[in-house]
Amino acid sequence: MRTPFISANWKMNKTVDETVTFFKEFIPLVNDAKDVDIVIAPPFTSLQAAASIIKGTNISLAAQNVHFQEKGAYTGEISPVMLSEIGCSFVIIGHSERRQYFFETDEMVNKKIQTARKYGLDVIVCVGESLQEREAGKTFEVLKRQVVSGLKDIPSDSLVIAYEPIWAIGTGKTATTEQAQEAHNFIRDQLSALYPEASKEIRILYGGSVTPDNIDALMACPDVDGALVGGASLKAESFAKIVNFKRSL
């Protein structure tokens, strides 16, 4: 059985002081959550404070992005070596906002994954279609391209995939459970072709306006193994409710 995986992506939110306040409220609320992997991705400026305060807890730290080089003349970027040193275990790669606003391609995503893995970081790889692509009937075409190209020559161990339909991110719209399961099942089929032995062990998260109100239904889907949470992860009580979702019997 795949262990549930609940991750927060704070995006460009929270100062260092706000980060410390969040964790002081959040940690006691999830102390008993032993059967779920909890990962939080603060902004870069809050990583060190977060790493210090979560030490010894059941929470892991992620970065929201990484460069594909170890070091060099890349102003404003951050390397996997720096992230590992500061205490990150995971990094989010290929988020739709990175693809949309910073023009990241599948090839760039692949290079980042390779470098992150080389320096000991596990990756949460984001895939997902836009509203225009869904309405044009291209959802599966887009997902196949992103999975196959993004994961080229990438080993399967400790790999996490996040399906984020772009039309549901920050819009208040959520894919129906049927839409989420259909997409996750398709992604798992693509993983089966790439990793015949390991595909059933790879966790696939859903992201896109996840809230305490819809997490139970989403997690009841056979191929939904967790969530990548944006806005609802910014408040300790709200995100704790998602982490402590009601398990299906």
What residues are annotated to the active site?
95, 164
Task: List helix spans (H) across the chain.
Answer: 16-29, 47-54, 80-86, 96-101, 106-118, 131-135, 139-150, 177-194, 215-219, 236-243
Structure tokens at 178: 């049927």
Contact 32, 87 (CB under 8 A): no
Question: Angle 177-194/139-150 helices, nearest 10 degrees?
Answer: 40
Q: Which residues pair with 5 in a beta bridge?
A: 37, 226
Residue type, 87: G
Structure tokens at 41: 């991705």
Indicate the pairing of strand 90-93 with strand 159-163. unpaired
Q: At a CB cut-off of 8 Å and minimum separation 6, what does 61 contact?
A: 39, 40, 41, 42, 47, 50, 51, 54, 87, 88, 89, 90
Cα 110 from Cα 113, distance rounded (Å): 5
How does DSSP assign 41-109, residue by residue? E--GGGHHHHHHHHTTSSEEEEES---SSSSSS-TT---HHHHHHHT--EEEES-HHHHHHS---HHHH
